[in-house]
Amino acid sequence: MSINTEYNEQAVIQATAVALEEFYKSLIANLDRLNINKIMGRKNPYLFRAKAMNGAAQIVEALLAAFVSSSEETIFGNVFFEPIATAAAQGQKALAEGIDIMVERGDTIYAIAVKSGTSVFNADSRKKQEQNFMAAQKLAQQAKKRFVPIVGYGYGKKRTSNRGLPKFYTELAGQDFWTELTGDEEFYVKLIRFMDRLPEKYIEEFELAFQKAANRLIKEFANAFCLEDGSIDWEKLVIFNSGCEPTSIRKGKGLPIQKGLLVLE
């Protein structure tokens, strides 16, 4: 039996609109804050050289593509599925740590932890999730309510396994998860329809922010890592990325001096 037998479609559409707005707002803000020190310090300069990437624009394009790909997945997972799942289940924002939604139906409390894809857990984070559910279960027991803990994944498939000790919570992904929340086996498809033309209204602003970031980073890269003739100073780039020398000036503090693993300021 599903948590819901019906849901408020307009509430879900509104939650979808707000989630998309927050997604693009956050993604654009990340682009606006980006600088060459931040992005180049975490990338592999040897790989760029191995691929004969000898142009500032070529390297920046690769940097930006990787940055956006990583950022958008993280941001989308943080802002999209939880509010929509809350609206779909007609639940409330949970106050308990590690639990996103609480839904009370009759004598049952559903505690839902909403995740994006199905590969979010390692051994430590899974153990922490179990502990969070156990803490919430005690509150349900005090209220004399049946407790149903669920980890829900917004997309993908999750196959159950008989290996190891059985978990006391249920994991549901994709269609199974959304059906549990709404009672509608087609909801996971409808969610795509609910987006309608909403993403298109943000594309122009995003592309402008992307181009501004590209222009800014190319200029910063050229100033920092290109020689007078325009060629890349690969040794300087490697020293910046991997050397023990200071990599940037901290505002108001001068240059930190690194010795081994210690930083003296």
pLDDT tens-digit series, residues 2-15:
898 889 999 999 99
- CATH number for the domain that contains residue 65: 1.10.3250
Residue whose token pair is 């809350």: 86
Same domain (yes/no): 97, 226: no
pLDDT at 248: 52
pLDDT at 90: 93
Q: Which of these three, 153, 181, 209, is where a domain ends?
A: 181
Q: Which of these three, 181, 215, 233, is where a domain ends?
A: 181
pLDDT at 143: 86
Task: Assess whether pLDDT exceeds 50 at residue 255.
Answer: no
Instruction: Flag whether 167 is in a domain.
Output: yes
pLDDT at 160: 59
Task: Assess whether pLDDT exceeds 50 at residue 256.
Answer: no
177 to each of 95, 185, 197, how far by Cα in Å? 21, 10, 25
pLDDT tens-digit series, residues 87-130:
999 999 887 889 999 999 989 999 999 999 898 888 899 999 99
Instruction: Flag whether 222 is in a domain.
Output: yes
pLDDT at 139: 85
Of all residues in the chain, the percent with pLDDT exceeding 70 is 89
Same domain (yes/no): 108, 163: yes
Instruction: Flag whether 87 is in a domain.
Output: no
Instruction: Flag whether 84 is in a domain.
Output: no
Task: Assess whether pLDDT exceeds 80 at residue 259.
Answer: no
The DSSP secondary structure of 102-129, one letter per residue, reads EEEETTEEEEEEEESSTT---HHHHHHH
Same domain (yes/no): 96, 71: no
Same domain (yes/no): 175, 205: no
pLDDT at 6: 86
- CATH number for the domain that contains residue 162: 3.40.1560.10
Same domain (yes/no): 170, 99: yes
Q: Which of these three, 128, 154, 181, is where a domain ends?
A: 181
pLDDT tens-digit series, residues 49-68:
999 999 999 999 999 999 99
Total number of domains constituting the chain:
2
pLDDT tens-digit series, residues 150-201:
999 999 998 754 444 446 799 999 999 999 999 999 999 999 999 999 999 9
Q: Name the pLDDT band for 38 (thresholds 50, 70, 90).
A: confident
- CA-nearest of 193, 188, 190, 194 to 174 is 188
Same domain (yes/no): 96, 176: yes
- CA-nearest of 197, 204, 150 to 173 is 150
Same domain (yes/no): 159, 240: no
Instruction: Flag whether 193 is in a domain.
Output: no
Instruction: Flag whether 187 is in a domain.
Output: no
Same domain (yes/no): 114, 176: yes
pLDDT, the chain, mean: 88
Paired with 104 in beta bridges are 109
Q: Name the pLDDT band for 246 (thresholds 50, 70, 90).
A: low
Domain enclosing residue 18, as ranges:
12-79+199-264
Instruction: Flag whether 3 is in a domain.
Output: no
Instruction: Flag whether 236 is in a domain.
Output: yes
Task: Assess whether pLDDT exceeds 50 at residue 250.
Answer: no
Same domain (yes/no): 21, 67: yes
